[in-house]
Amino acid sequence: MDNLIVEYKNAEIKLESELKIKNLNLKINKGEFVFLIGKTGSGKSSILKSMYSEKKIISGEAVISKTNLSLIKNKNIPELRRKIGIIFQDFQLLKDRNVYDNLDFVLKATGWKNKNERKEKIELCLNKVHIIDHANKFPSQLSGGEKQKVAIARSLLNDPKIVIADEPTGNLDPKSSIEIMEVLREINENGNTILMATHDFSLLKKYNGRILRCRNGLVDEIETKDLEIEKIYS
């Protein structure tokens, strides 16, 4: 099915602890906005990391953007990661270069040879996150929310099939968190598929999306309509 971006069937993922994510079954279709929630240590980040092959699939099936994660070879991981936009909690911007050059570095590293094409793509992505006027600023000159917008722009550079956001508002104040969610919502409405790990209850109340809960090594889908958010972790 062409609309299917992610499919895990009885997948097992090894975690740092003795706990494993086991019998993981999930599907994410093109254009969806999906939240992944759970306590610290429940395996949220490990599930996300398995999607860009930082964590290995021990058994079962796992496919993302038509790439079989169970069989992927190390030499093919860079190609996989070009199909995926990744947003981290701590931004991971290069401090020694400005916003424009942070994005240009990624394009050069992923094979963009033409300077004018890179410029056009960078400006397009910075406009998508409403931060084009900060192109010449260095990360030290930006607020946390602005840094995360740059990170979102970076995640869009290679037209990813899915954007994976690991606690993208975790280091931000409430106002900046809303700004980031509005940007992610806009991107989603423009056709990008988004999977976002979060523990911020207020965002789950405010923004629509499927909610997957990670608990005791298992993942299930819940409805906010049927549960008080505060009881999700009980």
Name the residue with higher pLDDT: 205 or 107: 107
Q: Kindly list the distances between the CA atom of residue 56 and the CA atoms of 59, 73, 76, 82, 139, in Å, as whole numbers in the listed order.
A: 9, 11, 14, 18, 32
pLDDT tens-digit profile of 75-90? 999 889 888 999 988 8
At residue 76, the pLDDT reads 92
Give the mean pLDDT of 157-181: 92
Residues 100-117: what's their mean pLDDT? 94
Closest by Cα among 208, 197, 128 to 160: 128
Average pLDDT in the 189-201 region? 90
Q: What is the mean pLDDT of residues 91-115?
A: 93
One-letter amino acid identity for 72? I
Top-tier CATH class for 4-92+160-231: alpha beta
pLDDT of amino acid 46: 87
pTM score, whole prediction: 0.90
Categorize the per-residue pLDDT at 91 as very low, low, confident or very high, splitting at 50, 70 and 90. confident
Query: Which of 77-81, 133-137, 201-205, 206-210 is least confident?
Result: 201-205
pLDDT band at residue 230 using 50, 70 and 90 as cut-offs: very low
